[in-house]
Amino acid sequence: MKVPGLKLICLAFLFIHTRILVCYGALDDAVDDYTDETPAKPPPPEMDNCNGVFLSYAFTSRTKALPLLKNVSAQPWTFNAMATVVNSGTEEVKGWKMYIGFQHKEILVSATNAVLIDGGGDFPTAVGNGTTLAGYPKADLKTSIDTAGDFNQIAVQVELKGSMFGLGEKATPMPKTISLKNDGWRCPTPTKYKTYMHACCKRDLKFKVNSNKKSKFAARQNGDLTFMYDVVKSYEGSYEAQVTMDNSSPIGRLDRWNLTWEWMRGEFIYSMKGAYTPRFDTSDCVYGLAGRYLKGFDFTNVMNCEKKPTITDLPLTKVNDTQIGKIPYCCKNASLLPPQMDPSRARAIFQLRVYKLPPDTPPTILYPPQRWNITGVLNARYHCGPPIRVDPSEFPNLKGFDAKVYAIASWQVVCNMTRPEKRKTRCCVSFSAYYSDGAIPCSTCACGCDNIDTDKCNPDKPAMHLPPDALLLPSENRTAKTKAFAKLKKKGIPKKLPCPDNCGVSINWHINTDHKAGWSARMTLFNWQEAPFVDWFVAVEIKKAYPDYDNVFSFNGTKKLKGIKNTIFFQSLKDLNYLVEMKNGSKPSDPKVPGKQQSVISFTKKKTPNIKIRKGDGFPSKVYFNGEECALPRSFPSSGHRSHLSIASFILISITTTFLLIITRFI
């Protein structure tokens, strides 16, 4: 008996199977003008012997792109490649993530069946230092056992297109490595051929796997900042979701946060409570797919139709607004504090109504937005992973019943703080000491030199040492003192002085005293911006001196930081929580005066009797201001003749003025 369509099904299976075989070894013969006379290799035997996750990367072609240049290092090439992930083990892989170690200044233009979770997530994006792909829309890879060997459910292929630079005609355009980035997996160094590489990743036996075998979804992860995207109601063509943001890091913080994500299937935000989009724009709906599919729909009251909307918190004045407020943990002026400062301000919640487009209109078809990213004004940068499906969240029953209410579907997004790139931080530290009459200022261009005229200063010259009182002046007013101090010390003065640090916040760490029983430091905060910092904090990592931290006199201080070693946490005293903004001088001709706060910090030597303060043991190895890691000087003050008027004296005089400014806020 003939089965209708059986022939087509067989042909389709052969087509899929053939494409997979091509990727598993037949691509050592790249096409186009990158050719190799070596005959094609059969599928690697490692595929059959891999009890885990099989990864491969196959370079398929490259072509010279315009402009055609004689300079080989500047010549652009377009390239095509195929990345493959196959679950060849006995355990389902939830939320697969594959790292590709690109190394030829690649710019990725497109990737099928996956999204980028670093580099901003948009195309085109530079991936020359490597990038990580996450599965979308198929994030999970089932086992061959559970699917009767269905490759469509156990494997995924990602077609990559992009550009690369700096390669000659005969150079090998391959990445350094490939690996699986999921927690609990270990990947060996990949086996490499000329245009192909593969690796078999296996479970790390030392990694503790979630013991909840009954769960059909991935286990929830910990991170510095986590989001829950919970669908709480689902209708034909739309759904209601709640977004919960939790700050778990003791040194993490966000001020005036802006959250962005990307709708991948034409969704749009109809309304929100507890947050809003600064841009109310329906043009993308009216002129886009929504206008085509939703005939007769009234877009007048739609909040936002952008593919990549920006979302932020409501001001405190809207907390009791019945239309857009009245949401727990909302309306904090977009501020998110560390939990030890105020647990109630370490969480933010908002709700939204989302409309979907065909063919996703049934209530059971739900997709979360992708490419999550969050930023603050002067805070740490966060790298966010893809949304991972987890067990539905529990909510309290608002009707008073002793019962649990569950979300229809829940996804978790985990974000972790990243270190700022060189010259891209937003705060910096200077060092000084009672035994040295010069101060080591913040490094040249510590916070970048993009917005200044480098024809008038040298961005590559090390910062020159300063007399202590120069730290109290804006950078543009330090020139005369810098030159005079260099002449006094018989140091050379370059024709073009080093560029300033350009940081909005600077911190001076001054060694104040050192004696047999203990020592002290004086920490001063300078705000060079035109806006104050409220509820500020500073976290100081000081490895050798940490055990003997004793007291701080004008701030609050604690060593009790969960998960953070050798770090002391300082914050303002009650009613002195403003680091005021920069002010004009008393006369129009006077330089501007930064906002300042200062305190002495004492240490004993009970546990560290051999500490060498003059060798640098009394200086911090890391400093964080409001979660942002600050740039540190490259050296420590050296012993020398002590000046008649120390930096502590200069700063103490100026602090008195600042203290009076702060007090006036509360009179």
Element (H, E) at 96: none
The CATH number of whichever domain residue 596 belongs to comes to 2.60.40.290
Q: Is residue 619 part of a domain?
A: yes
Going by C-beta distance under 8 Å and a sequence separation of 6 or more, which residues neighbour residue 494?
458, 461
> How many angstroms separate the CA atoms of 360 and 129, rounded?
36
pLDDT over 70 at 267, yes or no: yes
Q: Is 290 helix (H, G, I), strand (E, B) or coil?
A: helix
Q: Which pLDDT value is given to residue 13? A: 39
pLDDT band for position 450 (cuts 50, 70, 90)? confident
3-class secondary structure for 234-270?
Answer: EECCEEEEEEEEEECCCCCCEECCEEEEECCCCCEEE
- Whether residues 522 and 564 share a domain: the answer is yes
Residues present in the chain in total: 667
Mean pLDDT confidence for 19-24? 40
pLDDT over 80 at 196, yes or no: yes
For the ranges 26-40, 69-83, 85-99, 578-592, the lowest mean pLDDT is seen at: 26-40
Q: Is residue 25 part of a domain?
A: no
* pLDDT, tens only, 465-483: 999 899 999 988 999 999 9
| Closest CA relative to residue 253, chosen from 549, 625, 575, 630 | 625
Cis peptide upstream of residue 76 (ω within 30 degrees of 0): no
- Whether residues 242 and 188 share a domain: the answer is no
Label the pairing between strands 178-180 and 114-116.
unpaired
* pLDDT, tens only, 487-524: 998 888 998 999 999 999 999 999 999 999 999 999 99
pTM of the model: 0.83
Q: Which pLDDT value is given to residue 366? A: 97
Mean pLDDT confidence for 142-152? 94
pLDDT over 60 at 659, yes or no: no
> How many angstroms separate the CA atoms of 349 and 326, rounded?
11
> How many angstroms separate the CA atoms of 269 and 277, rounded?
9
Question: 160: how many CB neighbours lie within 10 A of its CB?
Answer: 25
pLDDT over 60 at 653, yes or no: no
Percentage of the chain lying above the pLDDT 90 cut: 75
Q: Is residue 560 part of a domain?
A: yes
Q: Is residue 161 part of a domain?
A: yes
Q: Which pLDDT value is given to residue 49? A: 87
Q: Which residues pair with 579 in a beta bridge?
A: 533
- Whether residues 411 and 473 share a domain: the answer is no
Q: Which residues pair with 354 in a beta bridge?
A: 239, 269
* pLDDT, tens only, 288-345: 999 999 999 999 999 999 999 999 999 999 999 999 999 999 999 999 999 999 999 9
Q: Which pLDDT value is given to residue 71? A: 87
Q: What six digits make up the tokens of 46? A: 């490692």
Question: For the purposes of burial, counting CB atoms within 10 Å of the CB of 588, is it exposed (0-12), middle (13-18) or buried (19 or more)?
Answer: exposed
Going by C-beta distance under 8 Å and a sequence separation of 6 or more, which residues neighbour residue 288?
266, 305
Q: What six digits make up the tokens of 575? A: 């009613």
Q: Is residue 268 part of a domain?
A: yes
- Whether residues 555 and 468 share a domain: the answer is yes
Which domain, by its residues, includes 475? 425-628
Percentage of the chain lying above the pLDDT 70 cut: 87
> How many angstroms separate the CA atoms of 502 and 445, rounded?
6
- Whether residues 396 and 504 share a domain: the answer is no
At 659, phi and psi to the nearest 5?
A: -60, -40
- Whether residues 457 and 520 share a domain: the answer is yes
pLDDT band for position 209 (cuts 50, 70, 90)? low
Q: Which pLDDT value is given to residue 4? A: 44
- Whether residues 55 and 152 share a domain: the answer is yes
pLDDT over 90 at 641, yes or no: no
> How many angstroms separate the CA atoms of 100 and 178, rounded?
5
Of residues 205 and 52, the one with the higher pLDDT is 52
- Whether residues 298 and 377 share a domain: the answer is yes
pLDDT band for position 563 (cuts 50, 70, 90)? confident
Question: For the purposes of burial, counting CB atoms within 10 Å of the CB of 9, is it exposed (0-12), middle (13-18) or buried (19 or more)?
Answer: exposed
- Whether residues 611 and 475 share a domain: the answer is yes
How many domains are contained in the chain? 3
Q: Which pLDDT value is given to residue 402? A: 73
* pLDDT, tens only, 369-390: 999 999 999 999 999 999 999 9
* pLDDT, tens only, 621-638: 999 999 999 999 989 998
Q: Is residue 264 part of a domain?
A: yes
- Whether residues 129 and 189 share a domain: the answer is yes
pLDDT band for position 117 (cuts 50, 70, 90)? confident
> How many angstroms separate the CA atoms of 134 and 138, rounded?
9
Q: Is residue 13 part of a domain?
A: no
Domain boundary among 397, 415, 433: 415
- Whether residues 356 and 320 share a domain: the answer is yes
pLDDT over 70 at 140, yes or no: yes
Q: Is 133 helix (H, G, I), strand (E, B) or coil?
A: strand
- Whether residues 180 and 235 share a domain: the answer is no
Q: Which residues pair with 395 in a beta bridge?
A: 405
> How many angstroms separate the CA atoms of 575 and 594, rounded?
20
pLDDT band for position 171 (cuts 50, 70, 90)? confident
Q: Where are the alpha helices (DSSP H) in 104-194?
A: 144-147, 151-154
Domain boundary among 201, 236, 259: 201
Q: Is residue 211 part of a domain?
A: no
Mean pLDDT confidence for 51-71? 93
pLDDT over 90 at 565, yes or no: yes
Q: What six digits make up the tokens of 377? A: 């004004």
Phi/psi region, residue 566 (left: phi>0; alpha: psi -120 to 50; beta: rest), is left
Contact at 8 Å (CB) between 34 and 60?
no
Q: What six digits make up the tokens of 326? A: 């009245």
Q: Which pLDDT value is given to residue 168? A: 84
pLDDT over 90 at 463, yes or no: yes
Contact at 8 Å (CB) between 472 and 527?
no
| Closest CA relative to residue 547, chosen from 485, 592, 609 | 609
> How high does pLDDT run on average in the chain?
87
Q: Which pLDDT value is given to residue 244? A: 98
Q: What six digits make up the tokens of 25? A: 């070894």
